[in-house]
Structure formats: structure tokens, C-alpha cells
Amino acid sequence: MENKTPQQRITLDLNEKEAEGIYSNLTLISHSHAEFILDFARIVPGMNKSKVHARIIMTPQAAKALQKSLQANVERFETSHGEIKLIGQPDPAQNIGFQTE
């Protein structure tokens, strides 16, 4: 028999500065045996240097929970708005027939 713990409600405070958010189009992820480190940066066309604007350090369990939550949200988004295309990734629909280099 499964022992279920009742879910606890958590209230979050969101300050004005944090509510503005930070734009990121590059995430660098590294890890050790005890933590995952996510560095959020911006790449600007024509610039060969970037700056980390936020660093999030998480336990492996929190990182896996984030992965599952993000996957579920991406699936919901794509159900509503269509598939998210990744720039630079091959389109399987266009890989019909002979390919030339």
C-alpha cells in the first residue's frame, strides 16, 4: 500500500526586480556529484563575448524535477501552438531522397 503525504501549499513572494525577469538565449549547464549549475547568458549577434546574467545552483533531485516540469510545459505549449522548431537542427520532413553536401 502506498503512503501518500498530503501536498503542502507554498506561497511565493515575487519582488518587482525579479518580476521583470532576465532574458537569456544561452544556458550553460555543468554538474558535480552533488549539484547542477545553470548559467544563463545572452549572445548578441556580432559579439564574441557574453556575460552570465544569472546562475542557479540546484541539487540533482531539483534538476530532475525541473527537467520533468519543463518537458510537460513544452508539450502543453506545442499542443496549443505547434511544434517548436530548433534553429540548426535538420528537418526530418526535408530529408527525403538523395542528400548532397
97 phi, psi to nearest 5 deg = 85, -160
pLDDT for position 15: 94
31 and 37 Cβ atoms separated by less than 8 Å? yes
The SS3 assignment for 54 reads strand
Distance of alpha carbon 70 from alpha carbon 92, whole angstroms: 24
Model pTM score: 0.73
pLDDT tens across the length of the chain (101 residues)? 566 777 889 999 999 999 999 999 999 999 999 999 999 999 999 999 999 999 999 999 999 999 999 999 999 999 999 999 988 766 666 555 555 55
Which cell goes with 89?
537542427
